[in-house]
């Protein structure tokens, strides 16, 4: 194990700031910029849950309800999903780049797709919708 790996392992094992320390030890001077990039929410889109109660979606997202997949028009972060009266999430906040990737994939009839990056499942959701009943 290299010195950097030992430092990362030691940092990961201690306290509430372990995440930050572990990645800081692993990425060094690059970590602050990487952390800032992970926190950016400007590139989000809201995927409206078509099964959620429309009134609950309208109350939370307002005009974004007009389309099933809406961009964040305010330029800031989207509100977190809420639960409607039936307990369903009103929408899902997805990374815009992930949505673009899922929309760009050419899907043919009878296609079989394996999403190897399926957590939390945004691309899988978009792909499944595009495949219809397949």
**pLDDT for 66:** 46
- Taken in order 41, 45, 50, 55, the sign of the CA dihedral is positive
- Short-list 51, 43, 42, CA closest to 90: 51
Alpha helices in the chain, H assignment, sequence order? 3-12, 18-27, 31-38, 54-61, 96-104, 122-131
**pLDDT for 124:** 85
Contacts of 37 (CB under 8 A, 6+ apart): none
- Please classify residue 90 by burial: count the beta carbons closer than 10 Å to its beta carbon, then call 0-12 exposed, 13-18 middle and 19+ buried: buried
**pLDDT for 96:** 80
CA dihedral angle for residue 67, residue 73, residue 79, residue 85, rounded to 10 degrees: -30
**pLDDT for 69:** 54
Mean pLDDT (10-residue bins), the chain, 134 residues: 78 75 91 85 78 87 57 60 92 83 85 80 84 68
pTM of structure: 0.56
**pLDDT for 72:** 44
Largest pairwise CA distance in the chain: 56
């Amino acid at each position: 194990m290299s010195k950097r790996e030992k430092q990362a392992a030691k940092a990961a094992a201690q306290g509430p700031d372990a995440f930050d320390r572990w990645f800081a030890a692993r990425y060094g001077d690059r970590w602050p910029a990487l952390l800032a990039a992970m926190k950016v929410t400007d590139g989000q889109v809201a995927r409206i849950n078509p099964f959620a109660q429309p009134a609950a979606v309208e109350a939370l997202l307002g005009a974004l309800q007009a389309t099933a997949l809406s961009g964040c028009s305010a330029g800031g972060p989207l509100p977190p999903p809420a639960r409607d009266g039936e307990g369903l999430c009103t929408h899902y906040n997805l990374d815009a780049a992930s949505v673009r990737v899922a929309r760009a994939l050419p899907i043919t009839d009878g296609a079989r797709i394996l999403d190897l990056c399926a957590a939390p499942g945004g691309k899988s959701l978009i792909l499944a919708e595009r495949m219809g009943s397949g």
